[in-house]
Every structure is written in C-alpha cells, then in structure tokens.
Chain A
Amino acid sequence: MEKRNNKKIIIKVSDLSKSFNNNIVLKNINFQLLEGESLAIIGASGSGKSVLLKNIIGLLQPDQGSIQINETEMVNLPRNLKEKILLDLGITFQHGALFDSLKNWENIIFKTANKEKMKNKQGKQLAFSIINQLGLQTEILDLYPSEISGGMQKRVAIARAICGNPKILLFDEPTSGLDPVTGSLIDNLIKKAVRTVGGSAITITHDMASVCRIADKVILIDNQTISWSGTPREMFNSANSKIQEFIKPINSKIFFK
C-alpha cells in the first residue's frame, strides 16, 4: 500500500495533460489526495478545474498521464471495473445534474437503491435522514427538482453525493449560488464527512471562505498547471500574485485566530 506521511494515498494524479482541439487546458498536473484529507482546488473560471475532475472520474480521457484511485489505474481501465470504483465515490456536478424525471427523494437514494434494491418506504426514510443534516425541509422530498430553488437543488445534489457514506467525495463548486449561512452549513457537512466518516474530499471552489473552512490543502490551477500548493494558512502568507488576487477580499483573521 502506497503511503505518504504514514497516510494512505487515495487519489494520485501524475503528469496529467488534457487538450481540446489543440487548445491545451491542463499540462503536467501532479497531486495526491491522502486518506482523511480535504483538498480544495481553486483557479479562475475556465482554468480547467472541472476538466480535471471529469478526468478523475473518467468522463474525459486524458491525453497523457496517470490517475490512480486506491492504487487502481483509472486511465484505460475497462468500463465495468471503472463503474465499480465510481460506486465508492460521491460526486456533485457544477449545476447539480439532478434527474428531472425523478422526485428529490428518488434522486437522493438513486445509487443506494440501485445497489441495495430498497423499497419506497425505506428509500424515503433514508433520504429524510440525509436532508435533515442539510437544513432542508422534508416537504421537498416529494417534489421534483424543477419545483425547488437552485440553492435547494444544490443541497439535494450534495445529499445524493453523500448518501451511502462514500469514502471519497468530489464536489464541483458545492457552495456557489448559496447564501453564506447555507454555504457554511455545506462546508461543515463536508468537514464532517471527511473527519467523522474518515473520508477524503476534493472540492472545486471559488469561495475562499469555504476554502478556509474545509481545506487541509489547497492547489491553485493557473496557466494550465498547478502554480501553487499549500495549506490555507500558508495561502495567506504566500507572495504568489495569483493567490494574492484570490485572497484579497478575505480577512484571514476571521478564520485563523
């Protein structure tokens, strides 16, 4: 078992590059996600953060490089094996990607219900227990995603990701479009999922307050590569001009007393 600092390596990305029609989006990306670690990926819009996430979960094929999840090489892995690995991941997409034709409770338990073949009553109970943690009212369970607000949809998507307590969580902008109170609630939930359940998380975000709350480690993607990495505390002492641009609106004293 490959370890670093005595911790198991959960995700290892090595020399990953990705381009679209000669437009290079990512070049020689290298990083590792350790067991029990919460990693935040920051970067300007269009810098390739979501592309990186889609490469990790196999929705995009990298031009070169390697992606390992729990020591299994994901690049060129047969589809059925890839699907088995993805079942242990909790993923949210940038715009929620809830299924329009299913009610919210059906969306939340979709993966678990497929795995365990549960009855409607059991499924609803499971969805109920999860949305309670997310500050959502139980009435929304029987509604369709189009019948609730964007912020609620985001939380239902997070509920779907954490249903079944997956050990690896990947969030694409989980708090964008949410009010600060709900955003903080989501951050606490991510923290709880990582610390209590012993999971590991990668969160793509522009929300620096969120980064300070949830991240053990931060990487900045700029100009196709990882131009900076460190802890949130180191981020506030960094001389990197891009990092400075990101943290300018944030008062670090609020987060690090």
Chain B
Amino acid sequence: MFNFFIDILGTTGKKFLNFVVNIGHFFIFFGSAIFWIFRPPWYFKKIFQQMIDIGYFSLPVVGLTTFFSGMVLALQTYNGFTEFNSETTVARIVLTSITRELGPVLTGLMVAGRVGAKMAAEIATMKVTEQIDALGTLGTRPMQYLIAPKIIASLVCIPFLVFIGNTIGILGGYIIAIYKLNFNPNLYLYATMEYLQLIDIIQGTVKAAVFGLIISMVSCYFGYNASKGAEGVGFATTSSVVISSVMILTSTYIITALFFG
C-alpha cells in the first residue's frame, strides 16, 4: 500500500517536473523567436505567403462564424428583452458583444483551428523528416526562415481579421434586426454608431494581437519540438489547437479585466 502511494507521488512529481520544464522551454523558444523577428535578413516572400494564408484564406470561415453569431445575438437579445420593452438595446448589445468579445474570440478560435493546426503540422513534418536540420546546414536559421514569418504575419493579419469579423458580425445583427424584427434601419444604425466606442475597438485590437501571438507561438513551439514520426506530427497538431484555444479563452478574460475590470 505504501509503495502504491510512493508510485503515485513519483508519477505525479515527474509529470509536474516535465510540465515545468516544458513551460521553461516554451519561454526560451518565445524569447528566441522574438529576438529573431528583429534581426535581418527578413524573408519578405515567406511573410507575404503567410499573410495570404492566414489573412486571406481565413476570411470565409471568420466571416461565416461572425455573421451567424451576429444574427443569433440579435435574435436572442430581442427575445430576451421584448418582455422589458427594450428592443432598442439590441443594437447596443450586438455591437458591444461583437466588438468586445465575440469578434476577437471567435476569430481567434477559428484561426487557431485552421491556421494554428496547419502551422504545427507543417513545422512538425519538417522536423521529423530532417528538413529543419537540413535548413541549418544550408546557412539558414530555422527560427528566422520558418518561425519569424509566421509570427509577423499572425500579428499583422489577425487584428485585420478581427476588424472584418466585427463588421460582418454587426452586419449579421443588422440584417436580422431590419428584415426579421422589423426595426427601423436608420434608428438601428444610429444606435449602433452612437454606442461605438474607441476603447472597444482598441480592446478588440489588443486581444487580436495577443491571440495572433498565442496561436503562432504555441503552434510553432509544438511543431518545432515534434518527435516520433507521424504520431509526433499528430500530437503537435492536436496540442497546438487545444493549448491555443485554452490560452485564448484565458487571456481574453485577463485583457477584459485589465480594460474594464
């Protein structure tokens, strides 16, 4: 019985130590990646390719998600507030929810699923097939050539995606409000513009930039440290999506608390 508890303690301790070591490795990787972002040469072609992949090709999924979220939000809010005769607050609630929370978070989660998984799988495959080793022997630093362009592109593109997602989300709410709930379009637009605040846009942009950093860093970290062939690639991909999503949801609370807490 005593040995059983010792075994459990041993296993738990080992897992905890591994966790601490991984956190340490992640921050070393983070520091190294940030360092190489600011060092020449910059691979502009790679950055541009990543911007197209992250920004342009994520537009449909981000647009669809935020559009329907805006529609649902308008409908649900209206249903909830009709009892209090507060239909006019629909515009305000759609605007605030989308710009402060739903737009950035949904965009972050969609990009984590689409782009983060791709980044992790791509880098992990390169790792297990010795392509990253080969890069190093061909006079190119993998951190500069592979990782830095992904981080730069994420930092630039995700705020733009969030901006577009917010606009489409608000449009979704507008369409439901006007065509289904029969609101006055001018009144709805006026209410939307009246409640649009700079702090909400700033907060959404900060969240988007933080999510961009989280998605690219976490995905690149898991990809870069992949091992054990195809199984390792699968593990890196799954871990990157799960950890990115959890970190997005955690950080959104922290940022909200910092701005409005």
Q: A residues near B, CB below 8 A?
A: 54, 57, 59, 83, 86-87, 89, 91, 93-95, 97-101, 110-111, 114-115, 160
Contacts and interface: CB of A to CB of B under 8 A. Distances in A.
Contacts of B135: 99
Interface string B123-156: 0011001110111111111000000000000000
B54 to A, nearest CB: 15
The 7 A-B residue pairs with the shortest CB-CB distance in the complex, in nearest-first order: A97-B134, A97-B130, A111-B138, A93-B130, A87-B139, A91-B137, A97-B131
A97 B131 CA distance: 5
B139 A99 contact: no
Interface residues of B, number: 15
Contacts of B126: 99-100
A83 B143 CA distance: 14
Contacts of A99: 126, 131, 134-135
B236 to A, nearest CB: 16
Given A100-B125, A100-B126, A93 B138 contact: no
A145 to B, nearest CB: 10
Contact of B139 (A86, A95, A160): A86
Contact of B130 (A95, A110, A114): A95
A238 B133 CA distance: 37
A87 B126 CA distance: 21
Nearest to B136: A59
A54 B139 CA distance: 16
Contacts of B133: 54, 59, 93, 97
B138 A110 contact: yes
Given A57-B137, A114-B139, A94 B130 contact: yes
A83 B139 contact: yes
A173 to B, nearest CB: 12
A91 B130 CA distance: 12
Nearest to A99: B131
A73 B87 CA distance: 77
A86 B138 CA distance: 7
A111 B139 contact: yes
A59 B134 CA distance: 10
Contacts of A114: 138-140
A94 B125 CA distance: 16
A120 to B, nearest CB: 11
Nearest to A115: B139
Contacts of A95: 129-130
A89 B136 CA distance: 12
Contacts of B134: 91, 93, 97-99
A114 B46 CA distance: 14
A101 to B, nearest CB: 8
A59 B254 CA distance: 40
Interface in B139-190: 139-141
Q: Which of B126, B130, B135 has the most CB of A within 10 A?
A: B130
A97 B129 contact: yes
Nearest to A86: B137
Contacts of B122: 101
B17 to A, nearest CB: 16
B138 A98 contact: no
A255 B138 CA distance: 35
Given A95-B129, A101-B122, A114-B139, 15 more contacts: A57-B137, A59-B133, A59-B137, A86-B136, A86-B137, A86-B138, A89-B137, A93-B130, A95-B130, A97-B130, A98-B134, A99-B126, A99-B135, A114-B140, A160-B138
